[in-house]
């Protein structure tokens, strides 16, 4: 968990695009995805972002420029999904990261002459696939600021559910509707109970929302009937991506009692294509603690490492682009900005709690962090918070207002980490656009 040579801010690449101040993908990042050249009819395979290029890991393995465990890991990444590579564990992940760093750093410029040209593919000509075969998806609810904002809107007493401060609350979601950035999201239809009515109706969602989250990809799973200790939980996590947990608020409020969301959440979840590894995030770790007077975690959710470095300072931003933005060429309007460091429960605690009853996680499983909101109104991670459940619509730079999302709106999420003495690294973009519901 300590920075190593791959975090050296002074390290430069012989690939000039990786040295630009505005790139989210410098040499110190090296995030993973699955890609292919658009329209070429070739299979998907694993790649790593560097500047404006994708390092083709399968081609790199065939070129014979890697050796040992790094070569084995690169060969595993030649598959259409990264599940086998994830299952190889931290030694293989780290070996490949270190080998790529050395291969593409400026001091290793001789390797440029040994590297076949087809090992680098411009990002401008590729399309992405889901990075893993996602067997299971679990969405958590772990921001106390988000939870408090919601209960103030929905309950007169504003009281949290009694379990929130004792465990990371979660529900199981759908994998079939998980899509990549650029996903078209059709407005869902479901039962809702309009205000003032005593009987529900079947209708298109009228209160469509987004939720700013991080996606957590499981690398190494556990056997059924065993549990993952919190002190070693992050050794089972490969990395993080951006995640939009689209939510139909009017459908959700009617159906959630007593078993939780169903149609309100299962129609779409959008993730960004690049997975930033836990190793890349090491410089941005920070301490985690509970405010005085609040319940402390039960022993199975507590460890010295959790307190010392359980939180991660990931800056996150949400912007809204309407059809008017696109017609006028205007940039999307920023809605909010916050940090993942505010989360009430850590990634390690989520993983541990998921397995405490003997549930077996598998390589490629996806966890959602839950909506990420900070302590101020400007840090809210969903429209329902920003607009006080639609009572105070937000004003956009186009002169429009929004209480909830309208057809043609696109939500754009970005994320990055920066700290003095280290290179700024980014997650890329997560974008999804709303289209009208099917006719009933």
Domains of the chain by start residue, with CATH: 5-129 (2.30.30.230), 137-435 (3.90.850.10)
3-state class of 167 per DSSP? coil
Q: What is the per-residue pLDDT for 159? A: 86
User: Within 13 Å of residue 113, how many CA atoms lie on the same side as its CB?
Assistant: 4
Q: Which three-class secondary structure state does DSSP give residue 161?
A: coil
Contacts of 326 (CB under 8 A, 6+ apart): none
Q: Where are the alpha helices (DSSP H) in 370-429?
A: 383-386
Contact 122, 28 (CB under 8 A): no
Give the C-alpha separation, 430 to 244, whole Å: 8
On the CB side of 78, CA atoms within 13 Å amount to 13
Per-residue pLDDT of the chain (440 residues; tens, 9 = 90+): 799 999 999 999 999 999 999 999 999 999 999 999 999 999 999 999 999 999 999 999 999 999 999 999 999 999 999 999 999 999 999 999 999 999 999 986 556 777 888 999 999 999 999 999 999 999 999 999 999 999 988 877 778 999 999 999 999 999 999 999 999 999 999 999 999 999 999 999 999 999 999 999 999 999 999 999 999 999 999 999 999 999 999 999 999 989 999 999 999 999 999 999 999 999 999 999 998 899 999 999 999 999 999 999 999 999 999 999 999 999 999 999 999 999 999 999 999 999 999 999 999 999 999 999 999 999 999 999 999 999 999 999 999 999 999 999 999 999 999 999 999 999 999 999 999 999 87
Q: Which residues contact 253 (CB under 8 A, 6 or more apart)?
A: 154, 192, 193
DSSP run (H or E) holding 84: helix 83-87
pLDDT of residue 110: 58
Q: Taking the C-alpha atoms of 246, 271, 427 and 382 in order, what is their torsion angle to the nearest 10 degrees? A: 10
2 by DSSP, 3-state: which? coil
Annotated binding site for Ca(2+): 139, 211, 213, 245
Q: Give the residue ranges of the annotated binding site for substrate.
A: 141, 155, 252, 371
Query: How far apart, in whole angstroms, are the C-alpha atoms of residue 34 and residue 273?
Result: 8
Distances (CA, A) of 178 to 102, 135, 198, 244, 286: 35, 11, 34, 10, 30
Q: Could you write out the DSSP letters of every residue in 321-362?
A: E-HHHHHHTPPPEEEEEEEGGG-SS-HHHHHHHHHTTSPPP-
Cα–Cα distance between 31 and 26 in angstroms, integer? 10
CA dihedral over 113, 118, 119, 124, signed as positive or negative:
positive
Residues paired with 286 in a beta bridge:
311
374-413 as b/e: b if 16+ CB within 10 A:
beeeebbbbbbbbbbbbeeeeebebebebbbbeeebbbbb
Known binding residues for Mg(2+) are 245, 265, 269
Q: Which residues are catalytic?
A: 146
């Amino acid at each position: 968990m300590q920075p190593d040579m791959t975090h050296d801010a002074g390290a430069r690449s012989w690939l000039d695009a990786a040295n630009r101040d505005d790139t989210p993908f410098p040499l110190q990042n090296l995030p993973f995805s699955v890609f292919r050249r658009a329209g070429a009819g070739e299979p998907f395979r694993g790649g790593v972002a560097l500047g404006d290029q994708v390092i083709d890991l399968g081609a790199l393995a065939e070129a014979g420029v890697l050796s040992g465990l790094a070569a084995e890991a690169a060969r595993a990444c030649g598959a259409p999904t990264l599940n086998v590579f994830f299952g190889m564990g931290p030694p293989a992940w780290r070996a490949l990261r270190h080998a790529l760093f050395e291969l593409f750093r400026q001091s290793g410029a001789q390797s440029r002459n040994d590297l076949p040209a087809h090992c680098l593919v411009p990002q401008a000509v590729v399309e992405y696939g889901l990075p893993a075969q996602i067997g299971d998806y679990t969405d958590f609810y772990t921001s106390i600021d988000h939870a408090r904002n919601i209960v103030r809107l929905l309950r007169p007493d504003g009281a949290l559910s009694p379990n929130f401060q004792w465990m990371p609350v979660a529900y199981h979601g759908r994998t079939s509707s998980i899509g990549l950035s650029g996903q078209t999201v059709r407005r869902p239809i479901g039962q809702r109970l309009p205000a003032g009515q005593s009987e529900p109706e079947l209708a298109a969602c009228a209160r469509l929302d987004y939720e700013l989250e991080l996606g957590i990809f499981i690398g190494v799973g556990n056997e059924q009937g065993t549990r993952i200790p919190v002190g070693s939980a992050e050794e089972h996590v490969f990395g993080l991506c951006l995640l939009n947990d689209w939510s139909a608020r009017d459908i959700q409020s009617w159906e959630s009692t007593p078993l939780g969301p169903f149609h309100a959440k299962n129609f779409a979840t959008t993730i960004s294509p690049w997975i930033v590894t836990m190793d890349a995030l090491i410089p941005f770790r920070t301490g985690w603690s509970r405010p005085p007077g609040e319940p402390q975690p039960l022993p199975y959710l507590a460890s010295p490492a959790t307190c010392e470095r359980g939180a991660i300072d990931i800056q996150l931003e949400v912007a809204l682009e309407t059809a008017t933005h696109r017609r006028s060429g205007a940039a999307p309007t920023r809605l909010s900005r916050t940090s993942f460091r505010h989360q009430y429960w850590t990634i390690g605690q989520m993983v541990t709690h998921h397995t405490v009853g003997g549930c077996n996680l598998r390589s490629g499983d996806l966890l959602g962090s839950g909506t990420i909101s900070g302590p101020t109104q400007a840090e809210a991670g969903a429209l329902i918070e920003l607009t006080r459940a639609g009572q105070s619509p937000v004003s956009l730079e186009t002169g429009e207002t929004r209480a909830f999302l309208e057809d043609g709106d696109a939500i754009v999420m970005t994320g990055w980490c920066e700290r003095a003495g280290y290179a700024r690294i980014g997650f890329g973009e997560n974008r999804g656009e709303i289209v009208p519901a099917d006719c009933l």
